[in-house]
Structure 1
């Protein structure tokens, strides 16, 4: 089996836990500093622009935040509590079959715990890699990937990115 097709063990989550997870809402900062990834190929940038248009106004009860610099490759919610970067290069961890992962509404995510207690999620088996970083305070909200997965599924086709 190719490590590109099944790069990690999957756990399946449904949309139901998201309803419970949205209970702890907190307002965020009005702007977040988010460095866009290095310039991806044009076809990946186009997919990221489409994703940018599909992203929800709120995630885990946090309102969407303006990013600085402004870019179709980035988004944030609750200040920098939840940060998204689309068009990142393929993470080397994708080749490790022992990596943990989750599947949310048909979108596979590589799951990595950050040293600060937060999490990093990266889409797999999509034509553009999308990274979501979540701070420690919101890391226990399993529902945060539900709305993000819906946007990814709509804007970024299934496939293996060559980038």
Structure 2
């Protein structure tokens, strides 16, 4: 079985249960998320996709109620007072240029993983016309449920870039 935090050359499908076990086994760590976030400044095209995504996001994720961060924006959303934060229209991460970057697929959406020092993991969609970023607090760092919860809305509103 491949470790989730090991550098992978290609995206790998991880079902929610497998991803949970793999992440727990690797000991990925994180800190607390903040209830305020920086609002992205995407292109008009990406902002339109993000507004559509905002309308489709679930009310609950991983058992947490929606509680959007400050300042309020159609480009950001949150659940559990900052435990899970989504930002849409973020810049393309430089790590996407690294062929050895860590990746996963959840329900048809590809995500690149960045394990941040002293903070929770950050996942960013790949192969989409707008980049969607999801950060998880330590409490949810070993749970793949949020990525699967966002997949239907991302697939519906943010087209593939291929």
**Over aligned residue pairs, what C-alpha RMSD do you find?**
2.2
Q: What is the SS of the residue equivalent to 2:147?
A: helix
Aligned structure 1 segments of 4 or more residues deviating by more than 6 angstroms: none
Size of the aligned set, in residue pairs, is 142
- With over 3 angstroms needed to count, the CA separation of the structure-2 counterparts of 1:154 and 1:68, relative to structure 1, is same
Which structure 2 residue ranges, 5 or more long, are not aligned? 1-7, 22-33
CA distance in structure 2 between the partners assigned to 1:113 and 1:127 by the alignment = 23
Deviation digits for residues 29-72 of structure 1 (CA, Å, limit 9, x no counterpart): xx9312201x2111110000000011111111111103211101
**TM-score scaled to structure 2, two decimals?**
0.80
Q: Are the equivalent residues in 1 in contact too, given 2:121–2:137 (CA < 8 A)?
A: yes
Which structure 1 residue ranges, 5 or more long, are not aligned? 1-6, 22-30
CA distance in structure 2 between the partners assigned to 1:87 and 1:78 by the alignment = 22
User: Does 97-106 or 108-117 show the bigger shift?
Assistant: 108-117
CA distance in structure 2 between the partners assigned to 1:14 and 1:40 by the alignment = 31
Q: Are the equivalent residues in 2 in contact too, given 1:8–1:94 (CA < 8 A)?
A: no
1:82 maps to 2:84: yes
Q: Are the equivalent residues in 1 in contact too, given 2:95–2:101 (CA < 8 A)?
A: yes
Instruction: Map 1:13-162 onto structure 2 (within 5 A).
Output: 13-14=14-15, 17=17, 32-37=35-40, 39-159=41-161
Question: Hey, which of these two has a bigger chunk of strand by percent?
Answer: 1
